[in-house]
Structure 1
Amino acid sequence: MSDPVVLSGAALTPAALALIASADAPVAISDDGLARLRAGRAVVERAIAENRPVYGLTRGLGDQVGDSLPPEMLADFSRRTIRGRAMAVGAALPRAVVRGAMAVRLNGALTGRAGLSEAAAVALQAALNAGLTPVVPRIGSIGEADLCVTAALALTLIGDPDGRAEIDGAIAPADAALKRAGLAPLAPGPKDGLALISHNSIAIAEAALAFEALERAVALETVASALVLEAFRANPSPLDPACAEARPQPGQAEAARRLRDLLAGGDLATDPDAPRRLQDPLSLRCAAPSLGAALTALDAARAAIDAELNGSGDNPMVDVAGDRLVATPNFHSPGLALACDQLAAAIASLGAGALARCQILGRAEFTDLPRLLSPGGVGSAGVAPLYKVGQALMHRLTRAAQPAAALPSMAGGSLEDSMSFAPQAAEKLQESADAFRLMTALELRIAMQALQLRGVARPGAALIPWIERLTPLCPPLEADDRPLGREVEAIADALTPSGA
């Protein structure tokens, strides 16, 4: 078993979340996180003892906010809060997203601001470590806390037979699944019901997992771009630092530096006669600005996701220092939604450049290589069918780039008259990540075929290990065509494995 990921409420990263969500790494709770959890819970208990007017604790929810709740019904109100909002529909979320959401909720509770009981926090930890994963329908959240969706998650923790969970590859009612996992159902205390469902952990987890996959894929796309430059024998002058200095667009200088580093020591970077053309097609000339825009979008998404992973979206929120519970707007996540939208748009732009480079490599009049990179001559398809695959992937990238956060509210006249649509933006970002990892693999496959036909004697030193790693995955095309789809998938699985 792998080492546990220690949750403290302060330092969870997308990479660490991916270990929990996709690699089933166990979780541990830090001592300082547990101390903050207990301090937050103490504030909740004092508020109950003093009958302070607190939304969702001593007073009702929604239109019942003016109604007092008798002390003897507070715990049952938590159970009813969960059952009464488990209304999500549709196909189940991926297991990795649900595990990620459980870890996000636990980490957020360790800030002390959720007011979650220690028993509820331990129940989340125990379910994760036992491999018990609630079955959670996808459709139901509008980004104002994932209430209807996260309630399905909470149903499992309390052992409600209307909940369902997966354990050891089998799906069972929540009570039976808990028993099979050797866990007791949680008896939720006051505020536990609201704290277990009133947060955006589904959107946050899906966005973080998509971000982590895209960060790896963009790094690999830099390698793919450099391999195309080598195979094409492109003019490296657009990578000169003077270009970015003259127009300092964010990210361009860093992207150009990364490409120069990959080409360094090779003929293309050192021999002025190596480039074949004075002006190359735009997809080659503009590789650095395109990569730079994606790097900038990744930076913006990282900041938005980090704030959500280690923050509190609870309402009401516990202010331990002030010994009070505060009404907050932190369940509203337009920053996360817009960051996902921006990143998906940047990835679509990057994918368009990748596809254009793939198509250019098949044009003999541009490359001086065999048409469609095929040694088979007339009648050979070469890599041409992969262009159709690339166009299909490009359609997915373009579809995922349509903004989710721009939709208007359709809930006029109710209290919830503003929506972030963060879950929808995060879902689209995951679709973008799934398509882009395949687009990058497709570009690598075509670039390797061109590189093998070109017979580059001295590529960039940093590219040599990549070429050695890719060579067994990319056997040269022969005169007789063969299917290449599985080779593209093998590259994607080997270099940018999917976590969902």
Structure 2
Amino acid sequence: MTSVHPSENLLAPETGTVAVGIGPLSFEDVVAVARQGARVEITPESLAEIRKSRTIIEGLAGDVEPHYGVSTGFGALATKHIAPDMRAQLQRSLIRSHAAGSGPEVEREVIRALMLLRLSTLATGRTGVREETAAAYAAVLNAGITPVVHEYGSLGCSGDLAPLAHCALAVMGEGPARNARGELVSADEALAEAGITPIALREKEGLALINGTDGMLGMLILAITDLRDLLKVADLTAAMSVEGLLGTDNVFAADLQALRPHPGQAASASNLRRILSGSPIRASHDNEECPRVQDAYSLRCAPQVAGAARDTVDHAALVAGRELASAVDNPVVTLDGRVGAKA
């Protein structure tokens, strides 16, 4: 996770409301909340699913049989039974022990994306958290409060445990945070100013708040958004280079590009044809007096270069889209009411 000074990345003016429901968010939803200050609202259907799955978790909490993350420890301590009067403390301790990141602060937009994506998983109704816990995440986002998350500490595919724990810690009213003005304050002060009551975690909730890869997914979505804009600029730059060097657009013809049918290459070539269409500079040397047989490799093969980047970005977007549609937690509450482990 890269970082900038927080004061350089304050929220843009609020723009609209993003509905967070059972289904996936879009790239545009994530960007709107992360960068443009859009508000979030949990849908009624999602709240109903959250209540339903919470009822199941509370039933398991009273069961004599052990259930991972509900009445047991975690990881190597999964076989250790936790007494009912210690379970809330265990969830709080889980958050406090994992809020151990280091290094510079992560960008505000990344933290907002991370919290939104965790809220999206909670909103599926598959994690078993209480309604007020999900509502607290929405309230923190809407208040413009940003928990302090540090650059180092994620476990990668094993989970953004430390970054997510820092967010959960702030929603508990502990640790540092930045208020809507970007000022560094204690989390309890930021919550109090916004009229938000800190959450007191119950069975399963601490696990549900940190068991995901929302930090890296948020960064991926923001990066893909930026890369798509940059690829448009790359095509514009290539077209201007063709004009500046008195090149030709004949090599960008659709039938020639189809002989090597890579989707990204075709898209880039199409952009170049459209940009250069009607160019008076291009037309100025389109005659028999032009001695050039072909343009430099860097011009005539521009679609192949930018196209490969486009294909890579499209693959990354495909993976990100699948992750947006996922409910990432362990264990999860299934649609038929089972509670089981999920990788």
Q: TM-score, normalised by structure 1?
A: 0.62
- Partners of 1:42 and 1:271 lie apart in 2 by 75
**Residue 160 of structure 2 corresponds to which residue in structure 1?**
146
Aligned match of 1:104 in 89, 112, 117?
A: 117
Shift, 1:58, TM fit:
1.2
Instruction: Please say if residues 235 and 278 of structure 1, whose CA atoms lie closer than 8 Å, have aligned partners that are also in contact.
Output: no
| Aligned mates of 1:43, 1:276 — CA distance in 2 | 78
- SS of 1:84's equivalent in the other structure is helix
User: In the TM superposition, what is the alpha-carbon distance from 1:269 to its structure 2 partner?
Assistant: 6.7
Q: 1:51: how far off?
A: 4.0
In the alignment, the residues of structure 1 paired with residue 292 and residue 39 of structure 2 have an alpha-carbon distance, to the nearest angstrom, of 54
Q: Distance in 2 between matches of 1:230 and 1:243?
A: 20
Within the alignment, does 1:300 sit opposite 2:315 as a pair?
A: yes
**Alpha-carbon distance, 1:315 to partner:** 1.0
Where do residues 16-415 of structure 1 align in structure 2 (5 Å cutoff)?
A: 16-143=29-156, 144-160=158-174, 163-167=175-179, 168-267=181-280, 268=282, 272-273=286-287, 277-321=292-336, 323-329=337-343
Tell me if structure 2 keeps the 8 A contact 1:236–1:269. Answer: no
| 3-state SS of 1:138 partner | strand
**Structure 1, gaps ≥5 residues long:** 330-500
Give the match's secondary structure for 2:168: helix
- Give the Cα–Cα distance (whole angstroms) in 2 for the partners of residues 165 and 195 of structure 1: 21
**Equivalent residues of 2:253, 2:269 under 8 A apart:** yes
Report the count of equivalent residues.
Answer: 326
AA at the equivalent of 2:122? A
**In the alignment, which residue of structure 2 is the partner of 1:384?**
none
Cα distance in structure 2, aligned partners of 1:276 and 1:210? 43
1:258 and 1:77 map into 2 onto residues whose CA distance is 56
SS of alignment partner, residue 151 of structure 1: helix
TM-score (norm 2): 0.90
CA distance in 2, matches of 1:210, 1:102: 17
Distance 1:63 1:240, change over 3 A: same
Give the aligned CA root-mean-square deviation in angstroms.
Answer: 1.9
- State the Cα distance separating 1:124 from its structure 2 match: 0.3
Match of 1:455 in 2: none
- SS of structure 2 residue aligned to 1:114: coil
Describe the superposition over 1:442-496 as per-residue Cα deviations: whole angstroms up to 9, x where unpaired: xxxxxxxxxxxxxxxxxxxxxxxxxxxxxxxxxxxxxxxxxxxxxxxxxxxxxxx
SS in 1 for 2:322: helix
What CA distance in whole angstroms lies between the structure 1 residues aligned with 2:285 and 2:278?
10
Structure 2: which amino acid aligns with 1:119? E
Note the C-alpha offset of 1:271. Answer: 7.2
The 3 A distance-change label for structure 1 pair 298 and 276 is: farther
Q: Whole-Å Cα distance in 2 between the matches of residues 269 and 190 of structure 1?
A: 72
